[in-house]
Structure 1
Amino acid sequence: MDASAMESETTHRLLMADGRASAGGGKDVSGDGAPGGGGEEQDAFDNLLEAAGSHGKFQIRFNIIFNFSLSAIVSMSFLNYVMAMTVPEHWCYVPGALESNISRDRWKELTLPREQGTKGDMAYSKCKMFNVTAEDIIMEQFFNQTVIHKEITGCQYGWEYDTTWYVRTTPSDNDWVCENELRVTNIFMYARIGDVIGAFVFGQLGDTIGRKKVFMAAIPLLVFGRMAAVLCSGIYPLFAICIFLSNSSLLPVFQSPLAIGTEFCCKENRSRINMLQCVGWTLGISLTPLLAWAVGDWVILTVATTLPSIIFLLIIKMMPESPRWLMARGRPEEAYKILCDIAAVNGRKLPSNALAMLKETVSRCGKEKTFGIASLFSSKRLAGYTLLIFLCWGINSLAYYSLVLNVGNMSGNPFLNYFFQSLVELPAYLVAMWSTDNIGRRWTQSVFFILLAIACAVLVAVVQNPGLTVVTVGFAVFAKFSVCITFYAVYLQSLETYPTCLRQTGTSTNSIIASLIGIIGPYVVYLGTSVDARYPYVVLGTCSLVGVVAATFLPETLHEKLPETLAEAQHFGRGQRYWSFPKNAWAKKKSLSTTKDENSCETKAF
C-alpha cells in the first residue's frame, strides 16, 4: 500500500469515526447503556496512531531503551540497598583469641553460651557471652582449671562478623545488631514509606505535568539518595532520610516509561511491553547478587549499580511525552508533533488533515476534568474495581517484598539464594505472559494465588527441619515464581482498567496502598528471624487466600479497548459473567493474524 493510499484510507476511517460521533450527538450510541463520553471521538486518535504506526521501529526503539534497558539498570538500585542491609552471622567479640593460639571454634565454645534458634536448633548466642577473661579461658584450655560459675552477660567488647560471604555490609560497619537490630528492619520500613510518598506525589504529577517530566525528576533523586546514603551511613537519621528519598523515586522511574509505551502502542502489544520491562527487571536483580559476590563490599556495590542510571538523562530526548495523555490534557498540537515523529521513524505519513482532526476531537471532547485520587471513586463500578486492585496489589507487594527480604535468612550461599530467587522471575513472566494472553488476566491471578498459598503451607511444615533444606529452598523459589505471576497480572490489569486521564494516578495510588501494606513486610520477616521461622509463611499463605477471592471479582481486560474517559471507565467490564473466560480470545487472535495488511511485516515492538 503506497503512502497516498494509506492516507486516503486513514482519512476515511477518521471521517467515519467523526460521523459516528456526530450522529450520536454526545449521547449514548454504544448500545449498552454507556454514555458517549468520548469513546467514538477517541477513534480518531487511535486511527491516526495506527497511521503513524503503533508497532513500528519507533516503539521498538523506545521500549528497548526505556522499558528494558532502564528496567535492568534501575532494578539493581532496588536490590542493592537490600543486600547492603544484610546482617552477617555474628557473635560477641572476646579479646585474646589470637594471643592464646586457640582455634575460632574452640574459642567460641569457651566464651559463648548456646541457645535455641528460630529454626528449633541449638546455636551459639549472637548477643550474649560468658563473663570471662582471656586468662580464665587460657587456664581452662591449657591447665584444665574450669571456670565453675560462668555468668552470662551481653557483648562487652563489640561483635565479630563472619566474612565468608560479605567483607562488609552497612549493619556490620555500624554494629546494627542485638539491641540495635531493629535499625535494619526500620530502614526497610522507611524505604516503604518513601515508596508511599513518592507514589503519591509523582503519581499525581504524572497525570498533571506529564509522564516525561516526572521521569526527569525521579532519576536524579534516585542517584542522589543512594550516593548520599553511602556517605552518611554512620549517622543513622541521615542514612534513613537518604534511603527514604531514593526509594520515593523508584516506582515513578518504572511507571512513567511503561505508561508512555502502553499509550502509543496497539492493544495487542500491551502485554508484551509489560513483559519486556519484567525481563529487564529480572536481568538486573539477577546480576546484582553476582556483582555483590564479586566485590563483597556494600559501598562498591551501591556505587556500581546506581551511577549508570544517569545515562538515561543524557538520552532523554529519545523519550517523547505520551500523545494520548496530551490529547487528554487538551493539547492537540503537541500530540500531533509527536505523532509526526513516530510516523517519520516508522516510515509512515499522516494524512494532511490530521491536526485538524485532533483539534476537532479535543474541541468536542474537551479537557477531561479529574480530581486526582478522588476520581478513582467517581462511580460505584470504578470504586469497586479500585478497592479490589488495591487489595490484590497490596497482597502481592507484601508477599514479594517479604520473600525478597527473607532470602538473607536462608541457609547456604546468600548470593546464589538471591540469584535463584531472582532468576526464577524470568520463566514466571514468560508463563504470566502466555497465561494472561490466553487464559486471561483474572483467572491467571486467581490460580497462582492458590498455588502461592499451597507453597506457603508446605514451607510452614518443612522450614524448621534441617534435613529438608533443599525442599525449603525449592518451595521458597516456587512461592516467588507464583507471586511474580500474580503481580504481573494485577499490574497489567490496573493499567488496562483505569482511563487514560487517571492511568498514572491509578497505578501510583495502587503503589501507595501496596507500599502501606508492604510496610509490615520487614516485621513479618523479623518474626521469622527473632521468634519462629514459620510465622512469615503463615502470614503470607493467609493473605494469599484473601487474594484469591479478590482477584476473581476484577474485570477481565484481555482484548478490551483501553477506557479513555471516566464515562467509559464507569461502564468498563459491564456484562462480564463471574464464571467465564475471555470471550472469543482464540477467535480474536486468529482474526488479528488473518487481517493484517502488508504493513504488518514490520517487526513488532515489545
Structure 2
Amino acid sequence: MYNQSDDFHSSSKNPVQCQHGWDYDDTWFSLTVPSQMSWVCDNRHVTNDVLFYAQNIGVALGLLFGYIGDRWFPESPRWLACRGREEDALRLLKRIATTNGGQLPPYARQVMRNVGKAQRDRKGFLSLFSSWNVFKNTVLLITARSTHLLTLQSIVMMSGGVGVNPFLSVAAQGAIQLPAYCVVHFTAACFGRCWSAVGSALLSGIAAAAVSFMLTANFSGLAITLMMVITQFFRTGTNGMANLQSVEVHHTCLRQIAACVEWTAAGVVMSALPYVALMELILDRQEREQRERDREQREKDRDKFLSELKTDMTT
C-alpha cells in the first residue's frame, strides 16, 4: 500500500502498513490459496517466492526432459556419415523418404560416401550461417516460434476479460495441447511435413482472426472462450511442427544450438507483448493523469485570479 494523500503526482510515495485487512475478489472462487493463507501485506513475499521456485523448477524440468528427448531422437544422416556409419545413414534416409511419400534417389549412397570422406562436422553458433538453406530454415523456425509465443500469451492474457471463469478457460487451453500434439504427429506422418505445417499455421491464423472479430462484435464470453481453445489447438499444432522440423532440418551437433537461438529470438519478440497488449491501458492512464494535471492547473489559475481580484477590490 502507498500513501497517496499528498500530492497526486509526487514521485516519492511512502509505503504504509495494511491497516484494515484485505478484501479478496471471490467472483469465481471463494476459497483460494492466497486468500486462505493471506499472501498479502506482510506475507506478500510468499507469492514472489512461489513464482520464483515454480519458474526455476520448470526450467530444470525442461532441461531434463530435453536431454531425455534427445536420447530418443535419431541421429542426423550427415552426422552418421561423418562417423563412418554409411549404412545407418542410408537406412535413416530411406525411412524419411518413405514417411514423406517419396523414394531415395540412386545417387544417395555416393553423396553419403562423399560426406563421410569430407569428415567435416561444423559445430558452434556460426554453423547456422554455413549455408543459405540452414540460415533460411532457422529464420523460418524463429518466425514460427515467435508467432507461437505471441499467440499463446495473448490468448492467456485475454482469458480474464471475456466474462468467463479465467481459471477454467486457461485449464481448457492447457488440456487441448496434448490432443493437438497427437493430431499433428498423425498428420505429419500421413500427409507430410509441408502440408501439416502450412495447414496448422493457416487454421491458427483464421481462428485468431475469428477471436478478434468476436471480441469487437460483442459475442458471448462462452463463444469467445470456445474459439480461443480452438485457436490454442491449431497454435499447438504449429509449434509441434516447428519442433519436428527443427529436429529434422538441423544435424545432430547443431540441434540444441539452433533450438537455443530460435527460442531466444522468440523470447525477445515476446517481450514486446505486454507493452502492446497493455498499451490501451497505459494510454488511458496517461490521459487521466493529463486531465488531472489540467484540472489542478485550472484550479490554481482560478485561485490566483480570485486572489488578485480580491486584492484589487481592497485597494
TM-score, normalised with respect to structure 1? 0.33
Given the alignment of the two structures, is residue 487 of structure 1 paired with residue 239 of structure 2, yes or no? yes
Q: CA deviation at 1:505?
A: 1.3
Between the aligned residues of both structures, percent identity stands at: 25
Higher RCO (CA < 8 A, seq sep 6+): 1
Q: Is the 8 A contact 1:498 1:506 kept in 2?
A: yes
Matched residue type, 1:368: D
Question: Following superposition of structure 1 onto structure 2, how do residues 84-95 of structure 1 map, counting pairs within 5 Å?
Answer: none
Q: Name the counterpart of 1:388.
A: 140
Indicate how the Cα distance of structure 1 residues 470 and 242 shifts in structure 2: closer, same or farther if over 3 A, else same: closer
Aligned: 1:262 with 2:262? no
Asked if the contact 1:441/1:490 (under 8 Å) is kept, the reply is no
The Cα shift of 1:524 comes to 4.5
How far off its partner does 1:433 sit?
A: 1.7
Amino acid at match of 1:398: L
Counterpart CA distance in 1 for 2:171 and 2:208 is 20
Structure 1: segments with no counterpart, 5+ residues: 1-91, 93-154, 176-229, 268-323, 333-362, 533-606
- Would you say 1:368 and 2:121 are equivalent positions? yes
Q: Is the contact made by 2:164 and 2:222 (CA closer than 8 Å) also made in structure 1?
A: no
Look up the match of 1:438. Answer: 190
Check the 8 A contact 2:82/2:118 in 1, yes or no: no
Is residue 514 from structure 1 mapped to residue 266 from structure 2 by the alignment?
yes
Q: Relative to structure 1, is the Cα distance of residues 498 and 446 closer, same or farther in structure 2, using a 3 angstrom cutoff?
A: same
Q: CA RMSD in A?
A: 4.2
Report the Cα offset of residue 367 of structure 1. 7.0
Change (3 A) 1:253 1:406: farther
**TM-score normalised to the size of structure 2?**
0.60
Contact 1:455 1:478 in 2 (8 A): yes
Instruction: State the distance in 2 between where 1:459 and 1:419 align.
Output: 18
The equivalent residue for 1:470 is 222
Aligned length: 236
How far does residue 416 in structure 1 lie from its aligned partner after superposition? 2.3
Corresponding position of 2:33: 168
Compute the displacement of 1:478 (Å): 1.0
Take 2:269 and 2:250, find their aligned partners in 1: how far apart are those partners?
A: 21
Structure 2 vs 1, CA of residues 473 and 501 (structure 1 numbering), >3 Å: closer, same or farther? same
Alpha-carbon offset, residue 253 of structure 1:
3.0
Q: Give 1:159 deviation, angstroms.
A: 4.9
Secondary structure of the residue aligned to 2:39 is: helix
Distance 1:503 1:169 in 2: 41
What SS does the corresponding residue of 2:121 show, helix, strand or coil?
coil
Matched, 1:461 2:213: yes
Q: How far does residue 382 in structure 1 lie from its aligned partner after superposition?
A: 1.2
Does the 8 A contact of 2:159 with 2:225 survive in 1? no
- Mapped to 2, the partners of 1:376 and 1:396 lie a distance apart of 22
Aligned residue among 375, 378, 381 for 2:130: 378
- SS in structure 2 opposite 1:463? helix
Q: Secondary structure at the match of 2:164?
A: coil
Q: Alpha carbons of 1:380 and 1:481: their partners in 2 closer, same or farther (altered >3 Å)?
A: same
Q: Within 2, Cα distance between the matches of 1:529 and 1:168?
A: 28
Whether the 8 Å contact between 1:406 and 1:525 is mirrored in structure 2 is no
In the TM superposition, what is the alpha-carbon distance from 1:251 to its structure 2 partner?
A: 3.9
Letter in 2 for 1:432: V
Select 1:252's aligned residue among 40, 63, 69: 63
Change (3 A) 1:369 1:444: closer
Answer 1 or 2: which has greater helix percent.
2
The answer to whether the aligner puts 1:403 opposite 2:155 as a matched pair is yes
